[in-house]
């Protein structure tokens, strides 16, 4: 058994796998008892062994990957397990401009214990509005610099260059007014435009989650990104254009927009039902 494991390890090294991948493959194959009973292996037996293990989907996929490598090593036929239908469990939450105004109105009146001065109010307002208008990931938002905000030919825009691609977001005059107010008091930071790091960002949204119950909506970077994608769709932008602005591949964007459209249609159906009952 030990000799077989060593040979399997050498085979994986030749395939160019990392030390961690090799360690996991040997661990999974060994735990299934496949090394000892390799002569009696069959497709049905392998599937039963894998299904008998109570583990997460990611661990199950790692086990299948390890088994496939072992079968190739033994020069046997690869296995193809039936794929489980993926269920989209992520809740899609859309925030409108009216919701955003209500968030900003309630932010300070509902929780007097959260003492904020007018400068912090302006800072929080600016962060929420720009996350809503740009639809960036947290990482991208934290990397924004002052020079990314530009005003040319009476057109306010934010330009982001990542991995050789250039994304330009055109914003309205109201958003430009918010930026001017913010820049007047917070324009001197060298690290990033909003003087944020991951810790500060998490603390801010932890406080904003207190309003979830009052609004009945999730206030998070993800919900703001979902809202940006939906707003682009409502404006008639193509899937390719939305994909480019979100900075992700088109397949993921299609899944994204499909889930958002289903959420919107479901919400519309729920609104119709009470009206039908009243009639």
**pTM metric for this prediction:** 0.62
Domain boundary (34, 58, 73) is at: 73
Domains contained in the chain, number: 2
Same domain, yes or no, for 64 and 131? no
Same domain, yes or no, for 116 and 63? no
Same domain, yes or no, for 181 and 259? yes
- Kindly list the strands in the beta sheet with 149-152, ordered across the sheet, starting from the edge strand earlier in the chain: 149-152, 155-162, 165-171
92 falls within a domain: no
217 falls within a domain: yes
pLDDT at residue 135 in the model: 92
Question: Which of 38-42, 45-49, 150-154, 203-207 is the most confident on average?
Answer: 150-154
Helices 239-246 & 250-278, crossing angle to 10 degrees?
110
Same domain, yes or no, for 30 and 101? no
pLDDT category, 79, cuts 50, 70, 90? very low
137 falls within a domain: yes
Q: Which domain holds residue 38?
A: 2-73
Same domain, yes or no, for 247 and 192? yes
Same domain, yes or no, for 36 and 170? no
pLDDT at residue 49 in the model: 67
CB 94 within 8 A of CB 226: yes
CB 100 within 8 A of CB 149: no
pLDDT at residue 90 in the model: 58
pLDDT category, 171, cuts 50, 70, 90? very high
Domain boundary (58, 73, 88) is at: 73
DSSP assignment of 201-223, as one string? HHHHHHHHGGGHHHHTS--SHHH
Q: 34: helix, coil or strand?
A: coil
Nearest to 246 by CA among 261, 262, 227: 227
Residue 50 CA to residue 66 CA, distance in Å, equals 11
């Amino acid at each position: 058994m030990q000799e077989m494991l060593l040979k399997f390890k050498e085979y994986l090294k030749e395939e160019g796998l990392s030390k961690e991948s090799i360690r996991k493959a040997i661990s999974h194959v060994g735990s299934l008892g496949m090394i000892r009973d390799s002569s009696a292996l069959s497709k049905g037996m392998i599937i039963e062994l894998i299904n008998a293990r109570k583990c997460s989907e990611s661990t199950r996929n790692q086990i299948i990957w390890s088994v496939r490598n072992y079968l190739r090593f033994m020069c046997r036929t690869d296995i193809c397990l039936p794929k489980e239908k993926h269920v989209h469990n992520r809740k899609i939450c859309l925030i409108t401009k009216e919701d955003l105004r209500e968030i900003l109105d309630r932010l300070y009146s509902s929780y007097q214990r959260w003492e904020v001065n007018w400068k912090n109010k302006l800072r929080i307002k600016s962060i929420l509005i720009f996350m809503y208008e740009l639809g960036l990931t947290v990482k991208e938002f934290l990397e924004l610099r002052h020079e990314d905000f530009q005003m040319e030919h009476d057109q306010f825009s934010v330009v982001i260059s990542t991995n050789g691609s250039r994304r330009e977001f055109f914003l309205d005059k109201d958003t430009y007014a918010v930026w001017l107010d913010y820049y007047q008091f917070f324009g001197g930071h060298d690290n990033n435009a909003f003087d944020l790091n991951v810790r500060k960002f998490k603390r801010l949204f932890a406080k904003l989650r207190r309003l979830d119950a009052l609004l009945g909506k999730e206030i998070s970077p993800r919900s703001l990104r979902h809202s940006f994608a939906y707003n682009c769709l409502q404006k008639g932008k193509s899937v390719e254009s939305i994909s480019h602005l979100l900075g992700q591949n088109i397949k993921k964007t299609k899944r994204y927009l499909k889930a958002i459209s289903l959420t919107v249609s479901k919400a519309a159906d729920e609104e119709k039902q009470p009206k039908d009952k009243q009639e």
